[in-house]
Structure 1
Amino acid sequence: MFILRHHLRRELFSIYHHKSQISYSTSTKSSSIDQSTTAIRTEFINYLINTLNFTTESAISSSSKVRRLTTTRYCDSVIHILKNNGFNDSQIKDIVAWIPRVLLYKPNETLEPKIRVFLNLGLTNLDLLRLIKRNPSLFELGLHSRIVPTIDYLRMLVGTDEKVIDIINRSRWLFSTSVALKFYAGNVMLLKSYGFSDEQIGKFVHRNAMHFAQPSKWLTSKLDWVECKMGVSRESNEFFRCFNAIASNSVVNMERKMEVYKRFGFNDTELSMLFKNQPHCFALSEDTIREKLRFYMDEVGYTSGYLVTCPSLFSLSLEKRVKPRNEVLKILKERMLLGSKSLITLVNYPELRFQDYLRGFEDEIPGLYETYVSRRR
């Protein structure tokens, strides 16, 4: 108990210490207020320890996150509501540790209605727990001014509650900023101005939920880069597939990646074809692009023109798939057993099919299968 009082006094000093000088009468009044506040804070800390099994240290730390602590009368009711809505003891402790002020919310007016909206939508308790952690002020948002309008707007865009749940789970900033919904609306209008249908926009929003709550200039720069720089028509089936591949990259990063390809001999036409055929090629990091190009062009001897026609090579792991199978190819080639097979054929075999293929050479090359498996580890 001495340790608790010691920590508490030190915490209260950091919270309530004023740098400015105050009058004697004000100091006397503040002293009275501080004593009352200290008692409530001690009660709150003890509640965390005795009811939720917090350690003394973690209880004091959580208490320090609540600057204005005037009552603990709602704590039991909050715990009761969380349990009634399916949260287990571990999840409740996790919520309180992350947002200790949740214990101070008015349970029936602030907490219960908002929890029910999300659970009735179809979020699981684990989904909601993650959402709360991403948005610590979630239960402080207006139910009818922010939460319900946001859900209704998303439902209108994407059509189903399942997709709304996907967007909520993948969009970090959706509820954390008051302008997120304005950004969504602005970006929807921008896509309409580009001539995209409501169905296309709904799919686009669903796929790019994490990025969509950003200013329209972000979206404009990406749309223009895909269409104007890479020559992908907005009317083509590839347009959104290409956009999705580079959504997480800045235009500056995309330009740098193009320069890496160009240093290996790709021209603008080949880059445009490669991007259309396999936009994932531009989602790779610069280092990964260099590594793949060095292997395919310097070691295997492929040209840029050939790689454009075999874009799947860029989506495969060099260490776990391509290089081990290339070693097998060399062995078969030396024994004149390869036939008409090429590297692109072998690397595109599913793993089980490739292993069956190797077992067919057990008589001619004993241990080939085991050699391959050992090199994949």
Structure 2
Amino acid sequence: MLASICRRRLLFRIHQIPRGGGGGGGGGGGGTNPLQSIPPARNSYSSSAGADVSNSEPCPDTVSYLISCGLSPTAAAAATTGQRLRICSTDKADAVCALLRHYGFANADILRIVRSASVLLLVDPERILRPKLDFFASLGFKPRKLATAPFLLARSLDKHLVPSIQFLRGIIGSDDHLRQALHRQPRTLSSDLETSMRPAVEALRRGGLTEAAISKLLVINLCVLRLSPDRISKVFEDLKEIGMCIADSRSLYCFGVMCTLKRETWLRKLQLYTSFGLSEGEVFSAFKTQPTMLALADDNIEKKVRFLLDELKLGIHAIMSRPVILCYSLDKCILPRCAVLSVLMREGRIQRQIKLPQALLGTSREFSTKYVLKHADEIPDVVKAYEGKIKFEGFGCDT
């Protein structure tokens, strides 16, 4: 009952705080907190809580405690020196871990927090952590996602978290979409509202995006709010150069990918694709259809394209006509599916002239229904192939 009341109060506070402001710093996680004066993104917190941190040597008792939490000796020693951590009261650290478990954090989540933000073990769990955990719980924020950005728990509730969430809610709209955006990019919430988020949104507006388009873009890739206005303007220019109109619904997905790439990275990947015999125009056309093809690592692109060209004998133009295939995992998806098709060819259930791109694409359920379950009783090898127990060795020989 108490937790429910706290969540209702927190939600009320979100709606009451003015769009541009932050509340006072007292109580409820907004009071005196040695963590809040240090920028969270730097991952270099220090605390004077109960110890003299002038000594840069690892603290044996602290190292021992961190090891008991699951850290390796090396990581534990690094935490005590890099973050100048001294745990003088294991009771407080134990209380922090117990509180996290109470809010649904699994042991793996707590280990992740201790590894990247071990200084949180020094804070007052009831005064500093509980109000923020209540706040995130009221938003439906999953503990495992919060564990990927634990320094959010070091930010002021009234001065940063609440006004930032209210601002995002005003831009994105529904709470479901807000949760979706935050779960995809939780670290973005650590960005400063006035110097990062607001200027980024204004730059998107100046670029010609409607409010509805901005809302959708932030759900797709919230980290756009971490870009400078100049960088956002450059992305608009790059989209225009490749012939992408912002009125095209696909432009938001292209924008979401391009904002994660440095310009030199974008040009390098373009050169990589053209090295397979494509023109720049063909690459841009495929990118508009499947933007994530440029978000892949260079070696991943090289490995997949070479496999499709050399092993499956597909033409590069056929590949680029369905560029989504490049976003499928080679080891977990394409190879097992090829193994299944190879077994069916061997048994004469499908023709060797089957159109491979169409056969390989689609959801796991669609492929499994059409090519595995349909033949599983009579040809058990299709199940083994799909499970990776029969390896793909090409379509020209038995598997």
Report the Cα distance in structure 2 between the residues aligned to 1:145 and 1:222, rounded to whole angstroms: 31
Is 1:122 the counterpart of 2:140? The answer is: yes
Match of 2:372 among 348, 355, 360: 355
Q: Displacement of 1:67 after TM fit?
A: 6.7
Q: Displacement of 1:339 after TM fit?
A: 7.8
CA contact (8 A) 2:196 2:227 kept: yes
Report the Cα distance in structure 1 between the residues aligned to 2:113 and 2:358, rounded to whole angstroms: 52
Which residue is equivalent to 2:297? 285
CA contact (8 A) 1:254 1:282 kept: yes
Secondary structure at 1:350 match in 2: helix
Range moving further from structure 2, 119-128 or 321-330: 321-330
CA contact (8 A) 1:325 1:347 kept: no
Return closer, same or farther for 1:184/1:340 CA change in 2, 3 Å cut-off. Answer: same
- String of CA shifts for 1:114-144, please: whole Å, max 9, x gaps: 4433333333555555543x44xx44x4333
Is 1:226 the counterpart of 2:226? The answer is: no
- Aligned-residue Cα RMSD (Å) equals 4.8
Map 1:71-82 to 2 at 5 A.
Answer: 75=92, 82=99
Return closer, same or farther for 1:328/1:151 CA change in 2, 3 Å cut-off. Answer: same
CA contact (8 A) 1:174 1:213 kept: yes
Return closer, same or farther for 1:14/1:167 CA change in 2, 3 Å cut-off. Answer: same
Secondary structure at 2:188 match in 1: coil
Is 1:199 the counterpart of 2:217? The answer is: no
CA contact (8 A) 2:345 2:352 kept: no
Which residue is equivalent to 1:238? 250
Is 1:260 the counterpart of 2:263? The answer is: no
Report the TM-score when normalising by structure 2.
0.62
CA contact (8 A) 2:169 2:178 kept: yes
Return closer, same or farther for 1:96/1:330 CA change in 2, 3 Å cut-off. Answer: closer
**Matched AA of 1:223:** F
CA contact (8 A) 2:79 2:85 kept: no
CA contact (8 A) 2:207 2:233 kept: no
Greater RCO structure (CA 8 Å; 6+ sep): 2
Map 1:1-377 to 2 at 5 A.
Answer: 15=54, 75=92, 82=99, 86=103, 98-100=117-119, 103-105=122-124, 107-108=126-127, 110-132=128-150, 134-135=151-152, 138-139=153-154, 141-177=155-191, 179=192, 181-228=194-241, 230-318=242-330, 320-321=335-336, 323-324=338-339, 327=342, 331=346, 338=351, 341-348=354-361, 350-355=367-372, 369=382, 372-373=385-386, 374-375=390-391
Pair member with larger Rg: 1
CA contact (8 A) 1:171 1:211 kept: no
Structure 1, unaligned runs of 5 or more: 1-11, 18-40
Report the Cα distance in structure 1 between the residues aligned to 2:173 and 2:327, rounded to whole angstroms: 32
Return closer, same or farther for 1:188/1:93 CA change in 2, 3 Å cut-off. Answer: closer
Larger fraction in helix: 1
Secondary structure at 2:261 match in 1: coil
Q: Displacement of 1:209 after TM fit?
A: 1.7
Question: Matched residues, percent identical?
Answer: 19
Return closer, same or farther for 1:345/1:94 CA change in 2, 3 Å cut-off. Answer: closer
Return closer, same or farther for 1:89/1:322 CA change in 2, 3 Å cut-off. Answer: closer
- String of CA shifts for 1:280-335, please: whole Å, max 9, x gaps: 32222222322333333345444343333233432344452464356458757xx7
Report the Cα distance in structure 1 between the residues aligned to 2:133 and 2:381, rounded to whole angstroms: 59
CA contact (8 A) 1:358 1:369 kept: yes
Report the Cα distance in structure 2 between the residues aligned to 1:262 and 1:222, rounded to whole angstroms: 21
Q: Displacement of 1:153 after TM fit?
A: 0.5
Report the Cα distance in structure 1 between the residues aligned to 2:350 and 2:185, rounded to whole angstroms: 52
Report the TM-score when normalising by structure 1.
0.65
Report the Cα distance in structure 2 between the residues aligned to 1:128 and 1:284, rounded to whole angstroms: 26
Secondary structure at 2:54 match in 1: helix
Return closer, same or farther for 1:245/1:213 CA change in 2, 3 Å cut-off. Answer: closer
Return closer, same or farther for 1:153/1:341 CA change in 2, 3 Å cut-off. Answer: same
Q: Displacement of 1:63 after TM fit?
A: 7.9
Return closer, same or farther for 1:298/1:195 CA change in 2, 3 Å cut-off. Answer: same
